[in-house]
Amino acid sequence: MRVDVGGRVVYAYTGARAPRAGQPDVVLVHGAANDHSVWSLQSRYVAHHGRNAYAVDLPGHGRSAGPAVTSVDALAGWLADFMAAAGIGRATLVGHSLGSLAALAAAARAPDRVAALALLGTAVPMPVSEALLDAARADDHVAFELINGWSFSAGAKLRGNRQPGVWMTGNAMRLMERTAPGVLYADLAACNDYAGGLAAAGGVRCPVLLVQGARDIMAPPANARALAAALHDVRSVMLPDCGHAMMSEAPDAVLDALRAFLPVSQAGA
């Protein structure tokens, strides 16, 4: 679906099924230099199991018009604007990496509009290495290579895609390469600069799910401990042998974690 947010076209993949009135809404928010397609399996499941899925393309990503939003707080405001434009009153927010920070900030900003929060591959704070920031600032391809090198666990760099015939790291590389110059840096700088995570966590009123990869070196599980402590209704799922790119590496485990959690959000809706 396409909606107008602030005069710009925004695309959201709805799992190949049009949203239906009366069903709970689930908004899925991708990470840096990604787009809705990282959620293709999970969003299809959501959309075909009694919920409306909106895997949104953030501004400047995928099929949504630019420019990229440059801070997590601004992304949170943008998410609220998107929900209003799409006619979504209250939703479960599912975010990965940068998207998890945007979802967290959105839940704190408008607690009455967020039924539940699933934060995948998250960390608070979420510092980005200087080397990566420098490469992204220069729009150097090395930035994508660094992300690919750090986002997949060692085994997943070589094999094992659950989607037959798809070469995971090649696919991830091509997706990142589609972003316009400057977008990756805006995304990474937003992660790096976000200092309000723990305060936001204190303002979250809904149930929260944390899904982390045991081998995630982009957002190491240890870096989410303070976040977990600051949330008052939180449960965690640790994916063994999984890196940051968990929707690719462990799509079934991610889906199972969401499947177990979504009824919680519905109960709270």
Partner 1 sequence: MTKPRTHQFDTLTLHAGSAPDPATGARATPIYQSASFVFPDSDHAAALFNMERGGHVYSRISNPTCAALEERVAALEGGVGAIATASGQAALHLAIATLQGAGTHIVASRALYGGSHNLMAYTLPRFGIETTFVDPRDLDAWRAAIRPQTRMFFGETLGNPGLDVLDVPAVAALAHEHGLPLVVDSTFTTPWLMRPFDHGADIVVHSATKFLSGHGVVIGGVVVDGGCFDWDGGAARGKFATLTEPYAGFHDMVFSEESTTAAFLLRARREGLRDFGACMAPFTAFQVLQGIETLPLRMARHVANARRIVAFLREHPLVASVGYPELPDHPDHALAQRLLPRGCGAVFSFDLAGTRAQGRRFIEGLTLFSHLANVGDAKSLVIHPASTTHFRMTADDLARAGIREGTIRLSIGLEDPDDLIEDLSRALHAAGKA
Strand partners, 91: 25, 114
How many amino acids of this chain bind partner 1 (CB under 8 A)? 47
Estimate to the nearest angstrom the gap between the alpha carbon of 248 and the chain centroid.
13
Q: Does 236 bind partner 1 (CB under 8 A)?
A: no
Among 18, 1, 15, smallest CA distance to 43 is for 15
* Cα-based angle 103, 235, 100 (whole degrees, multiple of 5): 20
- Please list every residue from 112 through 141 that binds partner 1, using CB under 8 A: 129, 131-132, 134-135, 140
Cβ distance 94 to 11 under 8 Å?
no
Cβ distance 121 to 243 under 8 Å?
no
Question: Which one of 171, 192, 223, 266 is in contact with partner 1 (CB under 8 A)?
Answer: 171
Find the largest Cα–Cα distance for the chain: 47
Q: Does 60 bind partner 1 (CB under 8 A)?
A: no
Question: Which one of 7, 22, 159, 181 is in contact with partner 1 (CB under 8 A)?
Answer: 159
Q: How far apart are CA 239 and CA 97, in angstroms?
A: 15
Q: Does 67 bind partner 1 (CB under 8 A)?
A: no
Question: Which one of 3, 44, 88, 91 is in contact with partner 1 (CB under 8 A)?
Answer: 44
Region binding partner 1 by CB under 8 A among candidate stretches 85-93, 149-157, 211-219, 235-243: 149-157
91: amino acid identity, one letter: A
Nearer to partner 1, 112 or 159 (CB): 159
Secondary structure letter of residue 124 according to DSSP: S
Shortest distance, position 216 Cβ to partner 1, whole Å: 16
Q: Does 65 bind partner 1 (CB under 8 A)?
A: no
Shortest distance, position 45 Cβ to partner 1, whole Å: 4
Q: Does 23 bind partner 1 (CB under 8 A)?
A: no
Q: How far apart are CA 207 and CA 30, in angstroms?
A: 20
Shortest distance, position 242 Cβ to partner 1, whole Å: 14
Sign for the CA dihedral angle at 242, 243, 249, 251 comes to: positive
Binding site for partner 1 (CB under 8 A): 13, 16, 35-37, 40-42, 44-45, 48, 62-63, 129, 131-132, 134-135, 140, 142, 145-146, 148-150, 155, 157-167, 169-171, 174-175, 177-178, 251-252, 255
